[in-house]
Amino acid sequence: MSSEPSSFEDEKPEDGLEEYIYKLAPKGSLTLFRLLKNEREELTEDEISEKLGISKNTVRKILYKLHDLNILVYRRMKEESTNWNTYYWKINWEGISLSLLNRKKEVLHKLRLRLAYEQANRVVYHCPKCGREYKFEEALANDFTCPICGVSLEYIDRSKEIAILEDYVRRLEEELADELKKIQSS
């Protein structure tokens, strides 16, 4: 185990796709992905293991996970002489577009829920002592005093944060629409 290269230590994702791989796949996945990306051709497990200087076991583990995530695909070839199968791996660019699209859809869905909540609670009252928040009706019912601390409540307007969130949701919606168009026309 200690023979694994230290280059695994400083894998730093540089775009959305790399971020996705970095978060969901085991250590070393980003290094392997970049190798396949730079080679621009199929590689076998053995070739990858040799080029990266890591064990075949580790390579296999990463390949399977990246395959699960739709990031890699393989082609199987039976060697006549040995009757063994050889697997040729490459990046699944089409599958990746779909995976990323679905992931963005999930993010968008969560953001919309959050936005709806924030919009419904645009104005809140906040206790400077305990930090509890109260909706307008609750604050009114308590005479604008924190029922727990007896301290006067302060008014918070979240309009600015909501505007930022709205803008973000709108941009994400546009991005998604664009990508969907690209996939459908390819």
Q: How many residues bind Zn ion (CB under 5 A)?
A: 6
**CB of residue 127 vs Zn ion: minimum separation in angstroms?**
3
Which of 149, 162, 169, 172 touches Zn ion (CB under 5 A)?
149
Stretch that binds Zn ion, among 33-41, 70-78, 122-130, 165-173 (CB under 5 A): 122-130
* 156 near Zn ion (CB under 5 A): no
Nearer to Zn ion, 144 or 168 (CB): 144
Contacts with Zn ion, 123-142, as mask; x by CB under 5 A: ----x-xx------------
Nearer to Zn ion, 24 or 149 (CB): 149
Q: Which long-range contacts (CB under 8 A, 24 or more apart) does 104-109 make?
A: 104/172, 104/175, 104/176, 104/179, 105/176, 107/172, 108/169, 108/172, 108/173, 108/176
Contacts with Zn ion, 71-110, as mask; x by CB under 5 A: ----------------------------------------
Full 3-state SS string of 153-180: CEEEECHHHHHHHHHHHHHHHHHHHHHH
With a CB cutoff of 8 Å and minimum separation 6, the contacts of 156 are 123, 124, 125, 126, 133
**CB of residue 141 vs Zn ion: minimum separation in angstroms?**
15
Nearer to Zn ion, 74 or 134 (CB): 134
Task: Please give the helix or strand (H or E) that residue 18 lies within, else none.
Answer: helix 16-24
Where along the sequence are the contacts to Zn ion (CB under 5 A)?
127, 129-130, 146, 148-149
